[in-house]
Amino acid sequence: MPRERSAAFAPGRVNLIGEHTDYNEGLALPFAIAEGVTVHAEARPPSGGEQRVEVFASDLRERDEFPLEDPPREAGWRAFVRGTVAELGRAGFPLIGARLQFGGDVPRGAGLSSSAALEVALCLALLDLGAEPTSGSPLERVERTELARLCARVERDWVGARTGLLDQLASLYGSSDAALCIDFRSLVVERVPLRLGAWKLVVLDSGERHSLASSGYNQRREECARACELLGVRSLRDADREAAWRLPDPLRRRAAHVIGENRRVRAAVAALRAGDLPTIGELLNASHESLRDDYEVSTAAVEAAVSLLREAGAAGARLVGGGFGGSVLGLFAPATKPPAGAREVRPGPGARVLD
Ligand code: GLA
């Protein structure tokens, strides 16, 4: 009997370090968090000969309904759901009409990848629904990188944000007690144990919601592409520091950020392996300075949140995700106390189909 019901969970993520490197074939070191999005799916018989999808967004108490084949475009959260259904269909995955319900505990627009969590959980629930139980879980049938690419097409073609694969890969590969060193050229994902002992990683919401589609995110991507053209390289991964320094401003500073950030990711991996958390703190601070001054993706609200963490004694603090609002991350040594409103985050397991 094909499965009549299915449910899937996908986590949000925190990026320890390696920001705006994914679409530059660089390196990043994210981890999946415990918070995420759960999607429940149930087979829906065709109405009037047409297969349709009904959706209930339980946190927002809003609905949507659309044809399974060629869903028309819509804005807001509906774009993510319609886009995921459409891209799965376009990629040739067999889907059936469904009633979907989703909700979660990653705050939206807070830089913790609520959108990737929604896309990934939708993919898993939709691929599981209607499948023969003997065919195994979608994660056994489909490559995680293929799913991540499909979700990035949803962001680009349905939502208008030309994101990289950071958020989706972090959600799909998440692992308890480990960060994931992702090489965005080879797409090799390596687990790096994140042993914090009595140290704490916390996130603090700047209170400023961000939307990648309407922020300067796409503009930064264009600037990186232009810098590559001028340097004659395929991606900023190949850029040489001295040549980059001769680029016109602001391209010079954009390239400098990416080159420095890749180096900081390598240093962070070495520090984690050596159990050297004070160095991680310094790297977080250096990453933030580079994102603020060279990449220019910080805002007054983000700066205020970073200052709050540093005044409370953080060993390091920086913005996470695309910037232009969202959350900041802080690392606290055992004797220090994070400020009110900061929430502790720990690495957790990746996306999965629920029983
Ligand atoms: C957002 C995007 C990611 C990545 C980060 C910046 O989270 O979705 O692909 O580019 O910004 O590191």
Residue percentage of the chain with pLDDT more than 70: 100
What are the residues whose beta carbons fall under 8 Å from the beta carbon of 54, sequence distance 6 or more? 44, 63, 64, 65, 98, 99, 100
Average pLDDT over residues 178-190: 98
Average pLDDT over residues 79-104: 97
Beta strands in 124-187 (DSSP E): 178-183
- For residue 111, the ligand 1 atom closest to its alpha carbon is 7
CB atoms within 10 A of CB 74: 15
**Which of 14, 20, 209, 324 to probe ligand 1 with, by most ligand atoms within 8 A of CB?**
20
Output the pLDDT for position 110: 83
Protein residue with its CA nearest to atom 9 in ligand 1: 164
Query: Does the pTM of the predicted model rise above 0.75?
Result: yes
Output the pLDDT for position 282: 98
What are the residues whose beta carbons fall under 8 Å from the beta carbon of 231, sequence distance 6 or more? 239, 240, 243, 244, 247, 255
Q: By C-alpha distance, which of 352, 347, 327, 325 is closest to 37?
A: 352
What are the residues whose beta carbons fall under 8 Å from the beta carbon of 61, sequence distance 6 or more? none
**How far is ligand 1, taken at its centre, from the CA of residue 249, in Å?**
23
The reply to whether ligand 1 has any atom less than 6 angstroms from the CB of 119 is: no
pLDDT at 187 over 90: yes
- For residue 217, the ligand 1 atom closest to its alpha carbon is 11
Q: Which residues pair with 65 in a beta bridge?
A: 54
The reply to whether ligand 1 has any atom less than 6 angstroms from the CB of 83 is: no
Q: Identify the band that residue 211 occupies on the pLDDT scale cut at 50, 70 and 90.
A: confident
Distance CA 196, CA 218 (A): 35
Average pLDDT over residues 15-29: 98
Protein residue with its CA nearest to atom 10 in ligand 1: 20
What does the pLDDT look like over 30-51, one tens digit per residue?
999 999 999 999 999 998 889 9
pLDDT at 1 over 90: no
What does the pLDDT look like over 132-151, one tens digit per residue?
988 889 999 999 999 999 99
**How far is ligand 1, taken at its centre, from the CA of residue 19, in Å?**
7
**How far is ligand 1, taken at its centre, from the CA of residue 37, in Å?**
18
What does the pLDDT look like over 55-74, one tens digit per residue?
999 999 999 999 999 999 99
Protein residue with its CA nearest to atom 11 in ligand 1: 322
What does the pLDDT look like over 312-354, one tens digit per residue?
999 999 999 999 999 999 999 999 999 999 999 999 999 999 9
3-state secondary structure (DSSP) of residue 102: strand
Which active-site residues does the annotation give?
Answer: 167
pLDDT at 214 over 90: no
**Which of 167, 218, 224, 287 to probe ligand 1 with, by most ligand atoms within 8 A of CB?**
167
What does the pLDDT look like over 220-269, one tens digit per residue?
999 999 999 999 999 999 999 999 999 999 999 999 999 999 999 999 99
Q: Identify the band that residue 212 occupies on the pLDDT scale cut at 50, 70 and 90.
A: confident
Output the pLDDT for position 107: 82
The reply to whether ligand 1 has any atom less than 6 angstroms from the CB of 20 is: yes
- For residue 23, the ligand 1 atom closest to its alpha carbon is 10
**How far is ligand 1, taken at its centre, from the CA of residue 217, in Å?**
8
The reply to whether ligand 1 has any atom less than 6 angstroms from the CB of 164 is: yes
Q: Which residue has the higher pLDDT, 36 or 109?
A: 36
Q: Report residue 91 as tokens.
A: 């990629």
Q: Which of 8-12, 213-217, 263-267 has the lowest mean pLDDT?
A: 213-217
Output the pLDDT for position 159: 95
**Which of 15, 162, 163 to probe ligand 1 with, by most ligand atoms within 8 A of CB?**
163
**How far is ligand 1, taken at its centre, from the CA of residue 18, in Å?**
10
**How far is ligand 1, taken at its centre, from the CA of residue 321, in Å?**
5
Average pLDDT over residues 165-177: 97
Q: Identify the band that residue 191 occupies on the pLDDT scale cut at 50, 70 and 90.
A: very high
Q: Are 144 and 173 in contact (CB under 8 A)?
A: yes
Output the pLDDT for position 108: 82
Output the pLDDT for position 226: 98
**Which of 22, 108, 162, 220 to probe ligand 1 with, by most ligand atoms within 8 A of CB?**
22
Output the pLDDT for position 9: 98
Residue percentage of the chain with pLDDT more than 90: 93
The reply to whether ligand 1 has any atom less than 6 angstroms from the CB of 322 is: yes
Output the pLDDT for position 174: 98
Q: Which of 40-49, 101-110, 205-214, 255-264 has the lowest mean pLDDT?
A: 205-214
Protein residue with its CA nearest to atom 2 in ligand 1: 163
Output the pLDDT for position 95: 96
**How far is ligand 1, taken at its centre, from the CA of residue 284, in Å?**
17
